A and B are shown apart, each in its own frame.
Chain A
Amino acid sequence: GEDVEQSLFLSVREGDSSVINCTYTDSSSTYLYWYKQEPGAGLQLLTYIFSNMDMKQDQRLTVLLNKKDKHLSLRIADTQTGDSAIYFCAESPGGYNKLIFGAGTRLAVHP
C-alpha cells in the first residue's frame, strides 16, 4: 500500500542543522518531495529528488535518498527562526497524478 511516515516534532537551536526523516512504501514513486507549510499558508514545494538520485543539494537544503530502505531525509543547514514550519514528505506512486503525504514534522527553532 501507499504510506509515508515521518516523526511529528523536531526542536533545534538556531544555527544548528536540522534533519527531518521520512520513510515511504511505494517503490514506483518517480519523485519524492519536501513541502513546507507556514502558519495560515498553503503547502509550498521546497525541493524534490528523482528516484534514481542519492542526493540533491539546493543551497541550505540537502536531500538524501536511500532507495533500498525507502528512506528520505531533509537536512537544513544553519537553521533560522524563519525555518520554523511544518515539513511534509510526499511520494508520487506510479509517478503521476497524486501525492501521498506524511503527517508532517513540526520544526521549532529556538534561540
Chain B
Amino acid sequence: EPEVTQTPSHQVTQMGQEVILRCVPISNHLYFYWYRQILGQKVEFLVSFYNNEISEKSEIFDDQFSVERPDGSNFTLKIRSTKLEDSAMYFCASSEESQGLNTEAFFGQGTRLTVV
C-alpha cells in the first residue's frame, strides 16, 4: 500500500539553527500539506502546496518557514532559525485532489522536532 514517508523520525536541534524536514508524498498525488502538533495541543494546519506553489498558509507559517519540492519526489519544510516553541510533531500529508473534495489525505508518521 502506498504511504507517505517522513525523515527523520526525530530531530533535535539547537535554538537558532536551521532544520529541514523531509517528506516523500505518494507518487501520483498532486497536493501536499504540512501540519504540526505541539505536545498536548491540536493538530494545526501550516501550509498547502500545489503546482509548485503555496496555495494556502496559516498564520503560523511566517517568514521563518518555507516549503519546497526540490525534485519530483521530495517535499520539504524548512525552518530557518528555530525557536523553542517550534518543538512539535510535524506531519506531512498528500492527496490526489484538494482536500474536501471527497478525497483522502494520507499522512506520514510524523517528525518529532525538539528545539533545545
Contact = CB atoms under 8 A, between A and B. Distances in A.
Interface string B38-54: 00111111001000000
Given A96-B99, A97-B55, A43 B91 contact: yes
A42 interface: yes
B100 interface: yes
B112 to A, nearest CB: 10
Contacts of B101: 95-96
Contacts of B106: 42, 45
Contact of B41 (A30, A99, A103): A103
A65 to B, nearest CB: 15
B32 to A, nearest CB: 11
Interface residues of B, number: 28
Contacts of B98: 96-97
Nearest to A93: B100
A23 to B, nearest CB: 13
Contacts of A101: 35, 42-44
Nearest to B5: A42
A96 B107 contact: no
A99 B45 contact: yes
Interface in A67-111: 88, 90, 92, 94-104
Interface of A: 4, 29-31, 35, 40-45, 48, 50, 88, 90, 92, 94-104
